[in-house]
């Protein structure tokens, strides 16, 4: 593979922390809140990645994905759109694909030795190809952090490029596992390498959800700035997905403000921005009810996601 290693700028950590914190002070006018909540709901990838996953659990998640709130028309006067995707292990892709067919909800699957990324490359590529054959139209891969942290950047790039090819028509989300990268400079370097290897419409993603810390606003800002700079330099538009630790509607507003002010309104769409946060959906729905009725619903009033 011929690969020109991108030159990454040094990240001013103090400035990133300060700017990321500034988005938590943003407020949304009451008349705009419902629209922001509906947008956030449409950007969620509902996920189940547990050893105890079963076809029944996946089917239940798909029902929630297609119709997030059964009382939407009664409470807010309109029907909500479906969420963005359902993300499952490769073995569960056929079940999800069968249930979501024609719904508009994407079928995503983790692959490439999730969550470690340490499996032999041929096994990881076979994993990707089979998931696509079985009906996945999005693949969430993890980079080999051992290779990255050892400075074997070309190896990381070659593996990402091989996965891109294995995806065929499916979109790719490259998980950096930022909780293991230690510094903002490393996050920026990994972002730049991934962006250089993937196609327009693919994503970079913070985390697997299996490592703490997962998504944070400063880390997400560093990744958004990498996307912004690549777009300015090459015109290639890349999506972004923070995953893990985003649990409240208020947090989702903060992220949407950060996306808008860093990348612009063109990224405020599920094709370009996602939340990997299943627990976020019910809080968004509860916030919609509070906005319309003045009262929060109890947690048990909504089905588990």
Residue with tokens 């294995």: 166
Tokens representing 188 are 């920026």
The residues facing 141 across adjacent strands are 174
Helix (H) or strand (E) holding 87: strand 85-88
The yes-or-no answer on residue 205 being catalytic is yes
The yes-or-no answer on residue 241 being catalytic is yes
Tokens representing 203 are 């994503």
Catalytic residue among 64, 137, 205, 283: 205
Catalytic residue among 45, 140, 202, 283: 140
Residues 34, 249, 30, 220, CA torsion sign: negative
Tokens representing 172 are 């790719």
3 state SS of 204: strand
The yes-or-no answer on residue 140 being catalytic is yes
Catalytic residue among 64, 173, 189, 241: 241
The count of other CB atoms within 10 Å of the CB of residue 169 is 6
Phi, psi of 127 (to 5 degrees): -60, -45
Q: Give the rounded distance of the alpha carbon of 68 from its chain centre.
A: 18
DSSP string, 231-287: HHHH----EEE-BSS--SHHHHHHHHHHHHHHT-GGG-STTTB-BB-HHHHHHHHHH
Tokens representing 164 are 């891109």
Length of the chain equals 305
Q: Kindly list the catalytic residues.
A: 140, 205, 241
């Amino acid at each position: 593979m011929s690969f020109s290693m991108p030159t990454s700028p040094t990240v001013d950590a103090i400035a990133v922390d300060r700017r990321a914190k500034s988005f938590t002070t943003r407020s949304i006018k009451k008349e705009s809140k419902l629209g922001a909540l509906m947008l956030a709901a449409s950007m969620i990838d509902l996920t189940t990645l547990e050893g105890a996953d079963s076809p029944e659990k996946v089917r239940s998640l798909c029902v929630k994905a297609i119709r997030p709130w059964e009382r939407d028309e009664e409470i807010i006067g309109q029907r909500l759109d479906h969420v963005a995707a359902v993300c499952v292990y490769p073995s569960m892709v056929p079940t999800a694909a069968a249930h979501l067919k024609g719904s508009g909800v994407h079928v995503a699957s983790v692959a490439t030795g999730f969550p470690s990324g340490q499996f032999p490359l041929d096994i990881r590529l076979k994993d990707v190809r089979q998931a696509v054959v079985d009906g996945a139209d999005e693949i969430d891969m993890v980079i080999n952090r051992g290779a990255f942290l050892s400075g074997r950047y070309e190896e990381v790039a070659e593996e990402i490029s091989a996965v891109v090819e294995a995806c065929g028509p499916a979109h790719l989300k490259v998980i950096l596992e930022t909780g293991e990268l230690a510094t903002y400079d490393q996050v920026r370097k990994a972002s730049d390498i991934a962006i250089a290897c993937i196609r327009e419409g693919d994503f970079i993603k913070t985390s697997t959800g299996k490592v703490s810390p997962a998504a944070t606003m400063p880390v997400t800002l560093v990744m958004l700035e990498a996307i912004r700079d690549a777009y300015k330099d090459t015109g290639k538009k890349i999506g972004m997905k923070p995953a893990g630790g985003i649990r409240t509607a208020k947090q989702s507003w903060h992220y949407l403000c950060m996306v808008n002010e860093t990348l612009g309104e063109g990224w405020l769409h599920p094709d370009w921005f996602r939340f990997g946060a299943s627990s976020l959906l019910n809080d968004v729905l509860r916030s919609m009810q509070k906005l319309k009725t003045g009262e929060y619903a109890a947690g048990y009033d909504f089905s588990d996601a």
